[in-house]
C-alpha cells in the first residue's frame, strides 16, 4: 500500500479563492474585511509568518495592518494597542503573533482581544462556544484539517479518531470539531498507556505532539488517514535515513541546510501503511493561513452586516 498524499496547498488555494470571490462581492456593497497583525520583537520565523499573512490579505482584497513593536514592549503597552484595535470598526480581526517575549503576560494579552475579533479562536469565550457548538471563530489549524478531510471525501461521520496531543491550540479544539461531526474521538497524550495500540484503532489520526517521527507503522491501522501537524528539524544522518529513506528532496535539503523538516509522523513508514497522509511541509501548514483569511471574512460578516453560520 502507498498512501495517497493529502496536498494542503491545493485545498488552501481553493479556500482562498472562495474567500477572494466573497470579499469582492462584499466590496461591491462597500464592505471590506480588515485584519491587524501584531508582531513584538524580531524573531525571524515570526517575521516570515506575519509578512506572509499580510501578503495573503493583499492578494485576497482584505485590508491589513502589520504592527511591529520592539522586543522591550511591556504587557501594558501591548494591552493599550489591543484596546485601540478592539475599538476600531474597520478592524475585524486581531492576531497577536506568538511567541511573545518573556516579560509579556501572553494569557492576559490574548484574553484582552475582543472575542468577536479573535480570528485565532483562542479566547476563552470562543473556546466555550466551540464546546457548545455556537457560531464563533474556530482555531485555524484544526478548522483547516476539517476542511482537508471533507474536501478529500474522507468520512468523519461514524469514524474512530485519535488525536495525539491535548494543546489548546490544536489537540483539544481538533477533538471537539471531530466530535461535532459524529466521530468517536480519543484524546491521547504523554501519559496515555500503550499509545500505539490506542492509535491503531483509529480511522483518522491527528498527530500534534511535537516529537519528530514518533508515529510509525505501529501506530497506524492499514488504510487510516494520518494528519501530521508537527514541524521538527532532523539534524543527523541517522535520523534522516530512518525517517525519509532515500527521498531526494529531503536529502537535498539536508545537504544544503544541515537539516531537513519532518513532522510528528515517520513519513517513510506511514506511507507504507496509511491510506492517506499529509506531507511536511505542504500539508497542514498552508491551511492555517487560509483559515485565518476565512475567519477574518466571517468576523466581518458577523460584526458589520451579513451573517455567518
Distance CA 133, CA 173 (A): 11
Taking only the tens of pLDDT, the chain with its 309 residues reads 689 999 999 999 999 999 999 999 999 999 999 999 999 998 888 888 899 999 999 999 999 999 999 999 999 999 999 999 999 999 999 999 999 999 999 999 999 999 999 999 999 999 999 999 999 999 999 999 999 999 999 999 999 999 999 998 999 999 999 999 999 999 999 899 999 999 999 999 999 999 999 999 999 999 999 999 999 999 999 998 999 888 898 999 899 999 999 999 999 999 999 999 999 999 999 999 999 999 999 999 998 875 544
Identify whether residues 235 and 157 lie together within a single domain.
yes
Identify whether residues 163 and 110 lie together within a single domain.
no
Please give the residue range of the domain that contains residue 196: 140-286
Please work out, in degrees rounded to the nearest 5, the angle formed at the alpha carbon of residue 298 by the alpha carbons of 48 and 6.
60
Residues known to be catalytic: 53, 97, 120
Identify whether residues 63 and 200 lie together within a single domain.
no
Distance CA 280, CA 5 (A): 11
Q: Is 66:97 a contact under the CB 8 Å cutoff?
A: no
**Nearest Cα to Cα of residue 1 among 272, 278, 216:** 272
CATH number at residue 65: 3.40.50.10860
| Position 66 in a domain | yes
| Position 263 in a domain | yes
Amino acid at each position: 500500500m502507498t498512501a495517497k498524499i493529502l496536498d494542503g496547498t491545493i485545498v488552501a488555494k481553493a479556500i482562498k479563492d472562495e474567500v477572494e470571490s466573497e470579499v469582492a462581492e462584499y466590496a461591491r456593497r462597500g464592505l471590506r474585511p480588515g485584519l491587524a497583525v501584531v508582531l513584538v520583537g524580531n524573531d525571524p520565523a515570526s517575521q516570515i509568518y506575519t509578512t506572509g499573512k499580510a501578503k495573503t490579505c493583499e492578494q485576497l482584497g482584505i485590508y491589513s495592518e502589520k504592527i511591529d513593536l520592539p522586543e522591550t514592549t511591556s504587557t501594558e503597552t501591548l494591552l493599550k494597542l489591543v484596546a485601540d484595535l478592539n475599538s476600531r470598526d474597520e478592524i475585524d480581526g486581531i492576531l497577536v503573533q506568538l511567541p511573545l517575549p518573556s516579560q509579556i503576560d501572553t494569557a492576559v494579552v490574548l484574553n484582552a482581544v475582543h472575542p468577536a475579533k479573535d480570528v485565532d479562536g483562542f479566547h476563552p469565550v470562543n473556546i466555550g462556544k466551540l464546546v457548545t457548538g455556537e457560531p464563533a471563530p474556530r482555531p485555524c489549524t484544526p478548522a483547516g484539517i476539517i476542511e482537508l478531510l471533507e474536501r478529500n471525501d474522507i468520512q468523519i461521520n461514524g469514524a474512530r479518531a485519535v488525536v495525539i496531543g491535548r494543546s489548546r491550540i490544536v489537540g483539544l479544539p481538533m477533538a471537539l470539531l471531530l466530535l461535532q461531526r459524529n466521530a468517536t474521538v480519543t484524546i491521547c497524550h504523554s501519559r496515555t498507556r500503550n499509545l500505539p495500540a490506542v492509535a491503531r484503532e483509529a480511522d483518522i489520526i491527528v498527530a500534534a505532539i511535537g516529537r519528530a517521527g514518533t508515529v510509525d507503522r505501529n501506530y497506524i491501522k492499514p488504510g487510516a488517514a494520518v494528519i501530521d501537524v508537527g514541524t521538527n528539524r532532523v539534524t543527523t544522518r541517522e535520523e534522516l535515513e530512518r525517517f525519509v529513506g532515500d527521498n531526494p528532496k529531503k536529502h537535498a535539503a539536508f545537504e544544503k541546510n544541515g537539516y531537513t523538516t519532518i513532522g510528528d509522523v515517520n513519513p517513510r513508514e506511514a506511507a507504507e501503511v496509511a491510506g492517506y497522509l499529509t506531507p511536511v511541509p505542504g500539508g497542514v501548514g498552508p491551511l492555517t493561513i487560509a483559515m485565518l483569511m476565512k475567519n477574518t471574512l466571517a468576523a466581518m460578516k458577523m460584526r458589520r452586516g451579513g451573517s455567518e453560520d
